[in-house]
Amino acid sequence: MNTLIGLLIIAVGAFCQSSCYVPINKIKKWSWESYWLIQGIFAWLVFPVLGALLAVPQGHNLIDLYTSAPKESLLTIFFGVLWGVGGLTFGLSMRYLGVALGQSIALGTCAGLGTIMGPVLLNVFFPELNALQSLTAAVIIGVIVTLIGIAIIGVAGGMKAASLSEEEKKEAVKDFNFPKGLAIALLAGFMSGCFNVGLEFGKDINFGELTSPMFRTLPATLLVTIGGFITNAAYCLYQNGRNRTFSDYKDGSVWASNILFCALAGLLWYSQFFGLSLGRSFFESGSAMDTLAFCILMALNVTFSNVWGIILKEWKGCSKKTIIVLISGIAVLILSSFLPEVLK
């Protein structure tokens, strides 16, 4: 029962994340770099700080927590900076592939590599922690099945690209470009996997027994998102200067609505990692479900992003065979979420 509750909480977070591009589409008169920066302030600073504060017991503060963190935790922000590159290219993958296909490829790559890279890199830097023991057969099989599901959805995307005319592609996704989008999505997935690496390096940033198990990963999440914000803010401000779009921030006629939609998008995005922290507390510590939690989150993100893709008519005009392949991929992803529990 605990496992099911944990999965349901993670699923709610995944649904929220997959929905974060809906309010973004409501933003008016701002360039990509402008709204990406503002929503990032909420997604990667405001809400992560509020989340991290939940892990701080009475009589303590965040400064005490971070100054007393283990030595391996110092690399958490560094991996956040690398993840920030993935965050930038992730947004671009949506632009060229659409919500469904872009998130499927990027998050699929992120799910597999993020799960494996964490223990591997932790073992490289700090072999005394014996991090590789978490990569059990159940974990490896779970990652493989997840990647198979992503690959099936990728095939559906290729079938979509081959069957639609240029006019139909543009109608579904304005800037649709499969080769360019595929390359960007793969890069986004690889770099985004560094988020889970950062969580692995920062897993001991908490007050131990004084911190509720539900909130123990949230201080590390904050450090990763701070690193990501540094990368994204630098790029967005550069693009503001290059494209002369600093004037976006001066347009008072849209400030109220745009800030509201950016805040909502940021809240929905952060919900996935808040849900991940809460959900993992229902799994046995160190179990296959616990190790695969990040992979499960990404798989569910892909599942819900494709549901949104169908709702937003991004698969409109595709053949029945393409839709069957797409649904088959989604089914495999759902299966991968329960697989570790079946194999234990």
Q: Where are the domains of the chain?
A: 2-343
- Kindly tell me if the per-residue pLDDT of 282 is higher than 90: yes
Average pLDDT over residues 59-86: 87
pLDDT of residue 318: 79
Q: Which residue has the higher pLDDT, 38 or 116?
A: 38
- Kindly tell me if the per-residue pLDDT of 171 is higher than 60: no
Distance CA 275, CA 11 (A): 8
How does residue 168 score in pLDDT terms, banded at 50, 70 and 90? low
How does residue 259 score in pLDDT terms, banded at 50, 70 and 90? very high
How does residue 312 score in pLDDT terms, banded at 50, 70 and 90? confident
Q: Which residue has the higher pLDDT, 310 or 343?
A: 310
Residue 146, token pair as written in the block: 């997840």
Eight-class DSSP state of 30: -
- Kindly tell me if the per-residue pLDDT of 338 is higher than 80: no
- Kindly tell me if the per-residue pLDDT of 130 is higher than 60: yes
Q: Do 322 and 159 contact (CB within 8 A), yes or no?
A: yes
- Kindly tell me if the per-residue pLDDT of 249 is higher than 60: yes
pLDDT of residue 289: 83
pLDDT of residue 320: 85
pLDDT of residue 257: 93
How does residue 166 score in pLDDT terms, banded at 50, 70 and 90? low
pLDDT of residue 311: 78
**Exposed e or buried b per residue across 238-257, where buried means at least 16 C-beta atoms within 10 angstroms of its C-beta:** ebbeeeebeebeeeeeeeee
Q: Do 135 and 294 contact (CB within 8 A), yes or no?
A: no
Average pLDDT over residues 92-116: 73
pLDDT of residue 19: 87
Eight-class DSSP state of 284: P
